[in-house]
């Protein structure tokens, strides 16, 4: 009986910590990727933001996002799931406005199209979640705000930006978790880019087929979110799930990939938020990632 009471007590403590404390411990994680810029280039600091799942009442999170502009990044990469509530578009745009003075790119996640709905959180342990069609959101209004702020739309689109004295080509896919990706668009995206110094790929969900496709398209770095880093992990940030076919050991941070004789680096951001129906993080602090690209 004593061991049972102790187990229940530990569970309650973990729940109190994960719900009441850890999910609010917003963190800026810094890392470097060497060997991706031309020799002699200046470092490029990329702020990777993802998975806000923002709700209108989350004022602390909104302040944290707005204050990220003080990091003075050279480039902002937004890998989606900005919205966590049907009334979150205005708070998201307002929070991100200070960051729009920097060059940026974005790709959407499924929660940018439809409001979240109640799910059984234990089902994530069995298999990746399946799309549930909730209240449709005014995605186009948010997209227009991002584009008006100067950010490049990479939802099944490509483009190029001048960043840090280099011309960077971008290729991107819309959310694959909800079947909005158009992989057939990638060859045309690549062909449209000439005289670039570096290629970066951006998508929301890091499915293996996307990592392979981007690597074969000569993307030096791939940015993705979606996994929440596992959200509820074992000690040591050991993820139990990724909500896609990405192995759990790659649920957050940097990993190296090779396909077709080509190499790339994947950076997965664990994101800042959770669904409003599963407001907990354990051994997986909410994060943004400041990635410095080096020669």
pLDDT at 239 over 90: yes
What confidence category does residue 62 fall into, taking pLDDT thresholds of 50, 70 and 90? very high
Mean pLDDT to the nearest integer, 151-167: 98
Sign of CA dihedral 157, 249, 115, 87: negative
Q: Is 253 helix (H, G, I), strand (E, B) or coil?
A: strand
Rounded CA separation 183/268 (Å): 20
Distances in Å between the Cα of 291 and the Cα atoms of 52, 82, 130, 176, 277 are 18, 20, 31, 24, 31
- Spatial contact of 78 and 49, defined as CB atoms under 8 Å apart: yes
Closest by Cα among 57, 48, 55, 54 to 75: 48
Q: Is 154 helix (H, G, I), strand (E, B) or coil?
A: coil
Mean pLDDT of the chain: 93
Q: Domains in the chain, start-ordered, CATH in brackets?
A: 2-293 (3.60.21.10)
pLDDT at 292 over 60: yes
Percent of the chain scored above 70 by pLDDT?
Answer: 91
From first CA to last CA, the distance across the chain in angstroms is: 60
Distances in Å between the Cα of 171 and the Cα atoms of 19, 37, 107, 215, 235 are 37, 17, 10, 11, 36
- Spatial contact of 107 and 154, defined as CB atoms under 8 Å apart: yes
* The pair of three-digit structure tokens given for residue 35, joined into one six-digit string: 């060997």
Q: Which residues are registered as beta bridge partners of 136?
A: 114
Closest by Cα among 205, 212, 217 to 177: 205
pLDDT at 273: 97
Q: Which residues are registered as beta bridge partners of 54?
A: 83
Between 25-39, 74-88, 110-124, the lowest mean confidence (pLDDT) is in: 110-124
């Amino acid at each position: 009986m004593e061991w049972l009471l102790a187990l229940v007590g530990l569970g309650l403590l973990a729940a109190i910590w994960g719900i009441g404390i850890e999910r609010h411990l917003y963190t800026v994680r810094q890392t470097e990727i060497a060997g991706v810029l031309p020799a002699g280039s200046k470092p490029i600091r990329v702020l990777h933001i993802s998975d806000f799942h923002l709700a209108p009442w989350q004022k602390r999170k909104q302040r944290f996002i707005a204050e990220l502009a003080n990091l003075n990044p050279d480039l902002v990469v937004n890998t989606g799931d900005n919205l966590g509530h049907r009334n979150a578009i205005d708070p998201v745009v307002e929070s991100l406005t200070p960051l729009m003075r920097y060059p940026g790119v974005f790709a959407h996640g499924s929660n940018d199209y439809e409001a979240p709905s109640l799910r059984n959180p234990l089902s994530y342990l069995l298999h990746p979640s399946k799309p549930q069609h909730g209240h449709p959101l005014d995605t186009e209004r948010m997209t227009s705000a991002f584009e008006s702020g100067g950010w490049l739309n990479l939802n099944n689109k490509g483009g190029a930006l001048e960043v840090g004295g280099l011309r960077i080509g971008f290729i991107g896919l819309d959310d694959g978790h909800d079947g909005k990706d158009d992989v057939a668009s990638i060859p045309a995206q690549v062909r449209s880019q000439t005289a670039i110094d570096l290629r970066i790929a951006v998508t929301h969900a890091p499915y293996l087929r996307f990592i392979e496709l981007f690597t074969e398209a000569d993307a030096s770095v791939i940015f993705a979110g979606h996994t929440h880093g596992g959200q509820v992990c074992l000690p040591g940030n050991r993820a139990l799930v990724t909500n896609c076919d990405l192995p759990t050991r790659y649920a957050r941070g940097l990993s190296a990939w090779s396909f077709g004789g080509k190499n790339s680096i994947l950076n997965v951001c664990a994101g800042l938020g959770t669904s409003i129906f599963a407001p907990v993080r354990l051994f997986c602090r909410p994060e943004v990632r400041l990635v410095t690209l080096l020669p």
